[in-house]
């Protein structure tokens, strides 16, 4: 291992390492077969499962988008009726935001953070497994209900009173409210994992100021999740209660308030988009530094920019409500905050540009995605500054101008970095190199297709086309823009298929990747591709920000037991070793707990007794989960 | 195991599809005023459909049924949310009450309200006394609350079976 | 080749915007009143600032890539201090410039917002617009109740006079938006809000609902018709007069069909016993230009289609299908056509 020594190991050391690796492989092994798949406590396999599932939902959401573009390609089209169209755009937004964007970012964190900080697993391996199952249950519930015509149809933000008991009959909105429950529990689980792992399990020497920028991004994102999710959990619970048990949270005639929903939702909703964006900036930082062959310019500034973005993200939410008639002075505060957040984001962009300027750039497909991100995100950010101003927002709010803006910052600002990150870390995950030509082609087709689809939407919005309309009049003047956008959607789809083809090709025919095919500087490149289940034979130590680029060798951690799952807990600030910790292995209880929770939540759609049923079932499964194990201190495998 | 799952899904599909459908248009009769064919069976085409029951709730207010029946508690007209039914509570009996009117003041709405809307009203009226499935009943109004929602109908209320004495 | 692609990518958006703006299909940027004009002015400032910023960023990026040297040397964790200092200066300058630009945009935005808020005269024309699924219930307010006018989906205003639009809702959240005259304001049940707009030239301005409100949100338009003040006063006076029940001819038969059929249960025709409040007021139906909230033009053919099969025109609308035989229908159309 490069971190370990210069020159070849002695025969004795090599033999000892081989024995240690064999012991670690046994200690950390997952049971074989499908039982192992259901009970896995390996952060990498759970994370990969999460990423694959999230991309599956991305594909489904993309199909919905294609249907919308098909319907809107011609004026007064009768292809899709209003009821189905309302379900489609609601499902598109909910799938992309709740089932794809946040989960995939957190899953990348679950995969990469332990590797980047030099430890063997996440802090709570079984809870990690539980998080995946509860996420999958939520996604399956939503999509099954869509197939059964119970898909939610009041938009991904479900404003009351339209989504309330009087105007949304049936169970559609209840399904949406419970989707929130599932996905927010999963998001909180992953966030807690990332926070605890990052703060307590970093390898010795990796003080906070030596953490890779991606780890900083994930840490800040995780804190944002913890603070933002409760708002929407409260809101969706209140809505479910209004609909099921006759409460009046949002009934103006009985003391409730329709605007309360909007405040609660957007207090979550705005940080949500930064939860999606900040990990993407982490990806870009890693990709740019690797391919510019130098560390990111201005590390302290970048960290402060991330922290500032995280904080400021919580002070912007009213900019979604400028048309509701709130007092002007209050709205001005939110204009100021919404414009101010452009400063840390701009600082990050300038630092990346400086990195490229001061480095020796090698262009590969992952870097193309990062560069495309810079172009698209700056454009999207500029339209965001326009929308931050109340006067202009009063014209552009709820029009296709906003649709264009948020797709620029979400696709350009988050999906492009994500795709670049997939290509970048694919060799690490599967041990094979992606096809460079397919990578470049997929980038260009995606870039062109994206711009052809979404740029005309700025013009459509300025021309007066509102959002969430299933059709428009022939004489409204929207036909050309919509036709162009629909053509762009075809190109965009081709780009997605090319990217998928690259992944498929890589898995089948990709050239074997060594430990560090791109020449990266962080610790995940110091182990094999794919990493062994125990990540590192010996946990590394670091004394700088770019351990693999430093000229001298570093000692490794020895003395941890190899016959049980033992890791090293370090101090939160300076990462000095503190104590050893025994982690748990594979267990069926997370799956059973997820099933119990699912049973309770789904029953609660129909009767409040579901809460009681769920609580009783959870009592049983949580007891099983936390039952103290006899022989925990002996070298025994958990079942 | 797989067969059970498929059967469960199929059962769910049948139940859910019917509850959630939005049937905006019915085929109007060829000509003439709204016709109201004699209801053949006891079943109400609108009863399994949550949207239809919610429409019935809106129509109840729009056509001023609450002018005589209040929000189910009655006033000039009899209460609709209790278990006493002068002319029967079966769907076809409520339908006939609405279409033909009844003595002592119930107007005949036949010829004035399209047939589809009559069935929606029938379903809503029956939901007030808890005779519609729990997951289909409308929930509370976004207005001043003068009664519990139909969702909160108590299950221990006696279910009417046969029509009471007709006058 | 690369330079061509680059140039096209940078210029295309600007060209497209320029073309579209010239074509004048963007009412928000082609204002017809002082409120919309203030918004448009601010936007053009922000637009050109954005163009410059985007161009600078892209130019810098492309220039950096163009002048890169393919490096064989491995990455190093140490850097040349001169290069570092230049980068520090560059990044600091860029951040400082961004902050100043944002401050300018912020201050101008707040000033514009204040001007929008403070606009209005001492005696505006007051119109209450209640959003309903899926049409606009318009009421012209007057201190004398009998002088109030109730109409639907069409607002006439005098040129050059401020109009106070009070936005209300009777069911879900809608949003009143006439882009050629002003920004939008939500109609929120339980909250009353308002905006003041003014048209500086005569014309017809399209408006629409701008908050998703259910299945027919797409077909909830309205028209704002600005007229010279004397024309407006004449229109208002006409709207204040009640209809008269016809006494002979097919219109009489149509009136009887109206009263004995489903129509009178939901619609009001002042001057007749029809007093339903569920649907729009039809007293002056024939004077309106569109039906079904701007979905179809107000012609006898479209009116007949709307009465017989509204779900075909606007699926999900609250108006039920009605069945009339041919004679009754033509009589009804004659009656409705007389309601001007």
Taking CB atoms and an 8 Å limit, are B22 and C265 in contact across chains? no
A450: closest CA among C247, C294, C13? C13
Q: What is the mean pLDDT of chain C?
A: 90
- Cis omega (within 30 of 0) for bond into A161: yes
The predicted structure's pLDDT at residue B42? 60
Mean of pLDDT values over C266-287: 94
Q: How many domains does chain B have?
A: 1
- Whole-number mean pLDDT of chain A? 94
Query: Could A243 and B12 be called an inter-chain contact, meaning their C-beta atoms sit closer than 8 Å?
Result: no
Distances in whole angstroms, Cα of residue C266 to Cα of each of B36, C69, C269, C292: 20, 78, 10, 15
Task: Check pLDDT > 80 for residue B146.
Answer: no
CB A172 within 8 Å of CB B40: no
**How high is the pLDDT of residue B166?**
41
Task: Quote the percentage of chain C above a pLDDT of 90.
Answer: 79
pLDDT tier, C123 (very low <50, low <70, confident <90, very high otherwise): confident
Top pLDDT among C227 and A5 is at C227
Q: What are phi and psi of A379, to 5 degrees?
A: -65, -45
CA–centroid distance for C247 within its chain: 41
Quick one: closest CA in B to A165, which residue? B139
pLDDT in tens, B12-31: 666 667 788 888 876 554 44
Q: Which residues of A are less than 8 Å from C179 in CB distance? A: 395, 464
* pLDDT average, residue stretch B131-147: 80
Q: If DSSP states are collapsed to H, E and C, what string results for A170-225? A: CCHHHHHHHHHHHHHHHHHHHHHHHHHHHHHCCCCCCCHHHCCHHHHHHHHHHHHH
pLDDT digits (tens, 9 = 90+) for C163-192: 999 999 999 999 999 999 999 999 999 898
pLDDT band for C16, please (50, 70, 90 cuts).
low
The model's confidence at residue A634, banded by pLDDT at 50, 70 and 90, is very low
Say whether pLDDT at B75 is over 50. yes
**Residue B28 with chain C: CB contacts under 8 Å:** 308-309, 321-323
DSSP string, A115-181: HHHT-SS-S-HHHHHHHHHHHHHHHHHHHHHHHTT----STTTT-TTTTSTTTS-SSHHHHHHHHHH
Q: Would residue B92 count as lying in a domain?
A: yes
pLDDT for residue B41: 55
Establish if B107 belongs to a structural domain: yes
The average pLDDT across C111-123 equals 91
What pLDDT is stored for residue C70 in this prediction? 60
Chains in touch with A (≥3 Cβ pairs < 8 A): B, C
**Does position C4 have pLDDT exceeding 80, yes or no?**
no
Q: Are A281 and A341 in contact (CB under 8 A)?
A: no
Which pLDDT does position C14 carry in this prediction? 58
Cα angle at A365 between A360 and A368, to 5 degrees? 70
CB A404 within 8 A of CB A425: no
A47 token code pair:
């994370």
Phi-psi region of C127 (alpha: psi -120 to 50; beta: other; left: phi over 0): beta
**What's the pLDDT tens digit per position in B94-126?**
999 999 999 989 999 988 888 889 999 999 999
> From the CA of B55, how many Å to the nearest CA of chain C?
9
Confidence of residue C203 (pLDDT cuts 50, 70, 90): very high
* Residue B64 domain flag: yes
Of A2-11, A36-45, B148-157, C141-150, the least confident: A2-11
CA distance C48 to C59: 16
Q: Is A325 on the interface with C (CB under 8 A)?
A: yes
Task: Grade residue C243 by pLDDT with cuts at 50, 70 and 90.
Answer: very high
Global ipTM: 0.92
Q: Do A309 and A343 touch, CB atoms closer than 8 A?
A: no
Average pLDDT over residues C246-255: 94
Q: What is the mean pLDDT of residues C54-63?
A: 95
> Per-residue pLDDT for C279 more than 50?
yes
Complete DSSP assignment for A23-84: HHHHHTPPPSHHHHHHH---HHHHHHHHHHHHHHHHHHHHHHHHHHHHHHTSTT--SS-HHH
Cα B42 from Cα B131, distance rounded (Å): 13
The pLDDT of residue A627 is: 92
Both tokens of A488, joined, read: 């762009």
Kindly state the helix (H) or strand (E) to which residue B75 belongs, with its residue range: none
Cα–Cα distances in angstroms (integers) from residue B139 to residues A164, A188, B148, in the given order: 9, 32, 9
Residue numbers of C between 60 and 99 with CB closer than 8 Å to A? 60-61, 64-65, 68-71, 73-77, 79, 83-84, 87-88, 90-91, 94-95, 98-99
Encode pLDDT of A578-594 as tens digits. Answer: 999 999 899 999 999 99
Nearest to A122 by CA among A37, A190, A22: A190
- pLDDT class of C22 with cuts at 50, 70, 90: very low
Split at pLDDT 50, 70, 90, the class of B160 is low
Whether B164 is in a domain gets the answer no
Instruction: Render C27-75 in DSSP notation, one character per residue.
Output: GGGS-SSHHHHHHHHHHHHHHHHHHHHHHHHHHHHHHHHHT-----SPP
Residues of C in contact with A482 (CB under 8 A): none
Q: Residue range A378-407: average pLDDT?
A: 97
Q: What is the CATH number of the domain that holds B114?
A: 1.10.760.10
Residue B89 structural domain: 50-133
Query: Does pLDDT of A204 surpass 60?
Result: yes
Pick from A506, A638, A454, A393: nearest CA to A69: A454
Q: Judge if the upstream peptide bond of residue A333 is cis by omega within 30 degrees of 0.
A: no
pLDDT (0 to 100) of residue B164:
47
Residue B9: is its pLDDT beyond 90? no
Report if residue B37 sits inside a domain: no
- Tell me if chain C has a CB within 8 Å of the CB of A307: no
Give me the mean pLDDT over the A256-268 stretch.
96
Residue C297 at interface with chain A, using a CB cutoff of 8 Å: no
pLDDT value at position A620?
97
Contact C311 B31 (CB under 8 A): no
Cα separation, C41 vs A560, in Å, equals 68
Closest residue to A172, CB basis, from B20, B134, B140: B20
Print burial letters for B101-120: b (CB count within 10 Å at least 16), e (below 16).
ebeeebeebbebbbbbbbbb
* Mean pLDDT over the full length of chain B: 79
Q: What is the pLDDT of residue B167?
A: 38
B32, pLDDT greater than 80: no
If you average pLDDT over residues A306-332, what whole number do you get? 95
Res C1 pLDDT > 50 = no
**Nearest residue of A to residue B138, measured between CA atoms:** A169
Q: For A263-272, C72-81, C111-120, C248-257, which range has the lowest pLDDT when averaged over its residues?
A: C72-81
Q: Is B53 in contact with B46 (CB distance < 8 Å)?
A: yes
Does the residue B74 lie in any domain?
yes
Chain A interface test: which of C186, C296, C314 (most A C-beta within 10 Å): C186
Residue A1 has pLDDT above 50, yes or no: no
Q: Which of A621, A633, A589, A585 shows the shortest CA–CA distance to A43?
A: A585
What's the rounded mean pLDDT across residues A532-554?
91
In a domain, B41, yes or no: no
Q: Which domains does chain C have, with CATH numbers?
A: 25-67+117-240 (2.60.40.420), 249-337 (2.60.40.420)
Q: What average pLDDT does range C302-325 have in this prediction? A: 92
C132 at the A interface (CB within 8 A)? Answer: no
Q: Nearest chain B residue to C261 by CA: give it.
A: B112
**Does residue A3 have a pLDDT over 70?**
no
Q: What's the rounded mean pLDDT across residues A169-184?
A: 96
Please determine, for residue A554, whether its predicted confidence score (pLDDT) is greater than 90: no
**What pLDDT sits at residue C75?**
63
Beta strands in chain B (DSSP E): none
Binning chain C into helix, strand and coil, the percentages to the nearest 5 are 45, 20, 35
Q: Say yes or no to pLDDT of C18 above 70.
A: no
């Amino acid at each position: 291992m490069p971190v370990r020594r210069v020159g070849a190991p002695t025969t004795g050391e090599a033999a000892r390492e081989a024995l240690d690796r064999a012991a670690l492989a046994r200690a950390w092994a997952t049971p074989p077969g499908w039982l192992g798949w259901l009970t896995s406590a390996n952060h990498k396999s759970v994370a990969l499962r999460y990423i694959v599932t999230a991309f599956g939902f991305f594909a489904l959401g993309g199909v919905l988008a294609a249907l919308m573009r098909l319907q809107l390609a011609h004026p007064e089209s009768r292809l899709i009726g209003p009821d189905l169209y309302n379900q489609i755009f609601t499902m598109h937004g909910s799938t992309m935001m709740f089932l794809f964007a946040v989960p995939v970012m957190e899953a990348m964190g679950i995969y990469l953070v332990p590797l980047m900080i030099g430890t063997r697993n996440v802090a709570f391996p079984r809870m990690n497994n539980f998080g995946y199952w509860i996420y999958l249950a939520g996604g399956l519930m939503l999509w099954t209900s869509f197939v059964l015509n119970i898909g939610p149809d009041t938009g991904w933000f479900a404003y009351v009173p339209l989504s309330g008991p009087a105007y949304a009959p049936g169970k559609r909105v209840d399904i949406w409210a419970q989707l929130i429950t599932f996905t927010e529990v999963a998001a909180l689980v992953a966030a807690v994992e990332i926070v605890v792992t990052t703060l307590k399990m970093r390898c010795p020497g990796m003080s906070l100021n030596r953490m890779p920028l991606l780890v900083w991004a994930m840490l800040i994102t995780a804190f944002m999740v913890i603070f933002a999710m409760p708002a929407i959990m409260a809101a969706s619970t209140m809505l479910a209660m209004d609909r099921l048990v006759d409460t009046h949270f949002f009934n103006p005639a009985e003391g409730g308030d329709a605007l309360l929903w909007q405040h609660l939702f957007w207090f979550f909703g705005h940080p949500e988009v930064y939860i999606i964006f900040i990990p993407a900036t982490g990806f870009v930082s890693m990709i740019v530094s690797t391919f510019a062959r130098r560390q990111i310019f201005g590390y302290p500034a970048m960290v402060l920019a991330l922290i500032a973005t995280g904080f400021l993200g919580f002070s912007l939410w009213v900019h979604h409500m400028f048309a509701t008639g709130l007092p002007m002075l209050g709205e001005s505060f939110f204009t100021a905050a919404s414009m101010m957040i452009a400063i840390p984001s701009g600082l990050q962009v300038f630092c990346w540009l400086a990195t490229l300027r001061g480095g020796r750039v090698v262009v590969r497909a992952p870097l193309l995605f990062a560069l495309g991100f810079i172009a698209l995100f700056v454009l999207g950010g500029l339209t965001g500054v326009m929308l931050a101003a109340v006067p202009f927002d009063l014209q552009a709010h709820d029009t296709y101008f906003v649709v264009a803006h948020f797709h620029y910052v979400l696709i350009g600002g988050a999906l492009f970095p994500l795709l670049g990150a997939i290509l970048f870390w694919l060799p690490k995950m599967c041990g094979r190199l992606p096809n460079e030509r397919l990578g470049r082609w997929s980038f260009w087709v995606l870039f062109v297709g994206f711009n052809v689809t979404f740029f005309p939407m700025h013009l459509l919005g300025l021309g007066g086309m509102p959002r969430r309309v299933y059709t428009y009049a022939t004489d409204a003047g929207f036909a050309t823009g919509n036709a162009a956008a629909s053509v762009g959607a075809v190109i965009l789809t081709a780009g997605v298929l090319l990217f998928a083809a690259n992944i498929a090709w890589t898995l089948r025919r990709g050239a074997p990747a060594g430990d560090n095919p791109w020449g990266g500087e962080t610790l995940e490149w110091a182990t094999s591709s794919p990493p062994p289940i125990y990540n590192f034979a010996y946990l590394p130590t670091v004394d700088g920000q770019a351990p693999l680029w430093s000229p001298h060798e570093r000692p490794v951690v020895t003395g941890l037991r190899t016959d049980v799952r033992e890791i090293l807990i370090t101090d939160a600030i300076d990462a000095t070793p503190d104590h050893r910790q025994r982690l748990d292995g594979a267990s069926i209880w997370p799956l059973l707990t997820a099933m119990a929770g699912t049973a309770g939540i789904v029953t609660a759609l129909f009767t409040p007794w579901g809460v009681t049923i769920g609580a009783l079932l959870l009592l049983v499964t949580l007891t099983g989960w936390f039952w103290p194990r006899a022989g925990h201190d002996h070298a025994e495998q958990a079942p | 195991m797989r067969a059970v799952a498929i059967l469960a899904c199929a059962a769910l599909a049948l139940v859910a599809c019917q509850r959630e459908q939005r049937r905006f248009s019915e085929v109007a009769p060829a000509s003439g005023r709204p016709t109201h064919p004699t209801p053949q069976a006891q079943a109400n085409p609108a009863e399994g459909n949550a949207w239809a029951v919610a429409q019935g709730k809106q129509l109840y207010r729009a056509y001023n049924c609450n002018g005589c029946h209040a929000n189910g508690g009655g006033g000039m007209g009899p209460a609709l949310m209790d278990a006493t039914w002068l002319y029967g509570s079966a769907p076809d009996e409520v339908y006939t009450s609405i279409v033909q009117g009844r003595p002592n003041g119930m107007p005949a709405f036949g010829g004035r309200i399209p047939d589809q809307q009559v069935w929606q009203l029938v379903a809503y009226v029956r939901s007030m006394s808890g005779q519609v499935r729990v997951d289909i009943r409308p929930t509370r109004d976004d207005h001043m609350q003068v009664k519990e929602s139909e969702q909160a109908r108590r299950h221990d209320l006696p279910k009417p079976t046969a029509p009471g004495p007709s006058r | 080749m690369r330079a061509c692609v680059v140039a096209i990518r940078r210029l295309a958006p600007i060209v497209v915007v320029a073309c579209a703006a010239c074509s004048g299909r963007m009412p928000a940027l082609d204002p017809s009143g002082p409120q919309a004009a203030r918004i448009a002015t601010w936007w053009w400032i922000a637009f050109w600032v954005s163009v410059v910023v985007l161009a600078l960023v892209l130019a810098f990026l492309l220039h950096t890539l163009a002048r890169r040297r393919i490096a064989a040397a491995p990455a190093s964790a140490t850097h040349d201090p001169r290069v570092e200092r230049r980068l520090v200066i560059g990044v600091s300058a860029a951040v400082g410039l961004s902050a100043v630009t944002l401050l300018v945009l912020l201050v101008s935005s707040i000033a514009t917002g204040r001007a929008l808020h403070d606009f209005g005269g001492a005696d505006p024309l007051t119109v209450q617009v209640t959003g309903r699924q899926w049409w606009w219930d318009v009421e012209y307010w007057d201190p004398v109740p009998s002088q109030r006018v109730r109409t639907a989906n069409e607002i006439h205003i005098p040129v050059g006079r401020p109009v106070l639009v009070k936005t209300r809702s009777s069911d879900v959240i809608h949003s009143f938006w006439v882009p050629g005259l002003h920004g939008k304001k939500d109609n929120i049940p339980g909250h009353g809000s308002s905006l003041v707009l003014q048209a500086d030239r005569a014309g017809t301005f399209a408006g629409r609902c701008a908050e998703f409100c259910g299945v027919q949100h797409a077909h909830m338009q309205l028209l704002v018709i600005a007229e010279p003040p004397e024309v407006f006063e004449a229109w208002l006076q006409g709207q204040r007069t009640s209809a008269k029940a016809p006494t002979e001819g097919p219109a009489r038969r149509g009136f009887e069909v109206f009263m004995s059929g489903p129509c009178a249960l939901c619609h009001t025709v002042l001057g007749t016993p029809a007093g339903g409040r569920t649907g729009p007021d039809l007293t002056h139906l024939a004077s309106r230009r569109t039906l079904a909230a701007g979905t179809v033009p107000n012609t006898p053919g479209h009116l007949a289609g709307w009465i017989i099969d509204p779900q075909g025109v606007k699926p999900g609308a609250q108006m039920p299908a009605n069945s009339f035989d041919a004679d009754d229908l033509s009589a009804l159309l004659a009656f409705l056509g007389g309601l001007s």
